[in-house]
Amino acid sequence: MEILPSKMIRFLGIEEHRGAKELFEFNLHKLRTLGVWKWDVPQWRLHRAFALLTIISLIIFVISQACDVYIHFTNLDRCTKLLIPAVFSGLLVFKNSYLLIKTDEAFELIYQLQNNIFTKERPPTPQQSIILNRYAARAKFYSIVRSNIALAIILFWLLYPIKDTLEEYTEDTPEYVTLNRSKSTIPQLPFIAYYPYDVENNTVLYILTYLYQAFCGLSVFVGMPAWDMLFVSVFIHISGHFKALQYVLIHLSDEARKTLQVDKTELQLHQKNRLSQETDADIKSVWRTEDTEGNV
């Protein structure tokens, strides 16, 4: 984080003084918006419905690609293009479904990580807070970078068919080709899949299918980074706790040595005081003995 300028740090919102808990909430808020994380707000049911809609849409998307693979099984290049989106969509369906089932356990785990390590009776030291905030800022920075890269990739992927279509209509072609272009141009979709209706020759169905694929693609490329970076953030957060513990253990010997030195000094002072008291007592006893002998 030291290599980033201060203006960039403020723009990204990764200042260390924000605190580890606030920085860690970045990924959780995205999962709450997607409806796969527990959220105590009135509109929580709408987010949960959105999560279920996403799961159903991705399941249909995977089935349509599986049907296309079955139809064009001998076309290796086509099957390879179908493999990547199908695998990522299937993984997101599994992750979202599992998190919806285990949402209470996951919420309890993150709550313990955020609140039960340090308590009011046992607050973190200033140095521990600095270490935890630094690691939390790194986790948020990596999440922002990963999310923006994924969003840029899917936007390019979704807009590329439109770019090809526009290029076909703007390029210089002979007049007889222009007259027959509507018949020869085949609209392309962002993802290859099988649909039981005519997408190529029906503009309305093409637009609806394009919007459906765009929704599925955005769901995958927004949900997967949020999921992955949640675990990365947890690991970085735990690493910060271990780093703070390492700092305590390293300086524990110094503190023990200082305490031992103080105790040793106090012991020496106590011994000197006792020795001086014993010397004074011996001197007084000698004086008493001499006085007694003189009186006799």
Tell me the pLDDT tens digit for each residue of 126-184.
Answer: 777 777 777 777 777 888 888 888 889 888 888 888 877 777 666 655 554 444 544 44
Q: Would residue 203 count as lying in a domain?
A: yes
- Of 20-24, 169-173, 202-206, least confident by mean pLDDT is 169-173
User: Within 10 Å of residue 215's Cβ, how many Cβ atoms?
Assistant: 15
Which residues touch 46 (CB under 8 Å, ≥6 apart)? Answer: 35
Q: Would residue 123 count as lying in a domain?
A: yes
Q: What is the mean pLDDT of residues 12-25?
A: 70
Structurally, how many domains does the chain consist of?
A: 1
Q: Would residue 154 count as lying in a domain?
A: yes
Q: How far is 115 from 130, CA to CA, in rounded Å?
A: 17
Name the band, by pLDDT with cuts 50, 70 and 90, for residue 43.
confident
Residues of the chain above pLDDT 70, percent: 69
Name the band, by pLDDT with cuts 50, 70 and 90, for residue 230.
confident
Residue 216: which of 200, 193, 187 has the closest Cα?
193
* pLDDT recorded at residue 197: 86
Q: Which residue has the higher pLDDT, 46 or 20?
A: 46
Q: How far is 45 from 35, CA to CA, in rounded Å?
A: 8
Q: Would residue 258 count as lying in a domain?
A: no
Name the band, by pLDDT with cuts 50, 70 and 90, for residue 262.
low
Q: What is the mean pLDDT of residues 206-226?
A: 88
Q: How far is 239 from 233, CA to CA, in rounded Å?
A: 10
What is the domain range of residue 202?
6-252
Residues of the chain above pLDDT 90, percent: 5
The first and second tokens of residue 277, run together, are 């008291």
Q: Would residue 178 count as lying in a domain?
A: yes
Q: Would residue 271 count as lying in a domain?
A: no
The SS3 call for residue 130 is helix
Name the band, by pLDDT with cuts 50, 70 and 90, for residue 188.
confident
Side chain identity at 115, as an amino acid letter?
Answer: N
Name the band, by pLDDT with cuts 50, 70 and 90, for residue 59.
very high
The first and second tokens of residue 32, run together, are 């709450």
13: left (phi over 0), alpha (psi -120 to 50) or beta: left
Q: Would residue 179 count as lying in a domain?
A: yes
pLDDT, the chain, mean? 75
Residue 82: which of 97, 94, 70 has the closest Cα?
70
* pLDDT recorded at residue 211: 92
Q: Would residue 25 count as lying in a domain?
A: yes
* pLDDT recorded at residue 294: 55
Q: How far is 236 from 151, CA to CA, in rounded Å?
A: 23
